[in-house]
Amino acid sequence: MDMNQAVWLLVATAIVLANIPFILSNRLFIFIKVPEKSIWINLTEWFSYFIVTGFFAYQLENKSMGHVAEQTWEFYTITLFMFMIFAFPGFIYRYNLKQFIKKNNA
């Protein structure tokens, strides 16, 4: 896999994982069925997916380049905020759009 493919695979994975906690409101970590999740559980699950994405990025970089570049705190801050931006559609769906749809159908 070349570097271009690895980057697009990572971006697609990050977008999907950032939105899973908000789209699947009755599932915890995809497999555990729960009645309803609070915002704190959603944010904890979201942050766990951020860590999983970081581990996946580390593995991809190691496989495609043969080594992993050393990063400072700025890199991790930027990736955290990018992950927040990727999660925006799922967050809006869960906390704004879903309630708006229920209100209009009632």
Q: pLDDT per residue over 19-65, tens digit each?
A: 999 998 888 888 889 888 888 999 999 999 999 999 999 999 998 88
- Asked whether the predicted pLDDT for residue 98 surpasses 70, the reply is yes
Alpha helices by DSSP H, listed for the chain, are 3-23, 39-65, 73-92, 98-105
Give the integer Cα–Cα distance in Å for 7 and 5.
5
Average pLDDT value for residue range 70-84: 94
Residues 6+ apart with CB under 8 A from 41: 28
- pLDDT for 106 equals 66
pLDDT of residue 47: 96
Give the residue carrying structure tokens 């699950």: 45
71: its two tokens: 């990063």
Structure tokens at 64: 């495609």
CA distance 10 to 14: 6
The C-alpha atoms of residue 87 and residue 57 are separated, in whole angstroms, by 17
- Look up residue 81 and give its amino acid: F
Residue 57: other Cβ atoms inside 10 A: 18
Q: What are phi and psi of 87, to 5 degrees?
A: -85, -5
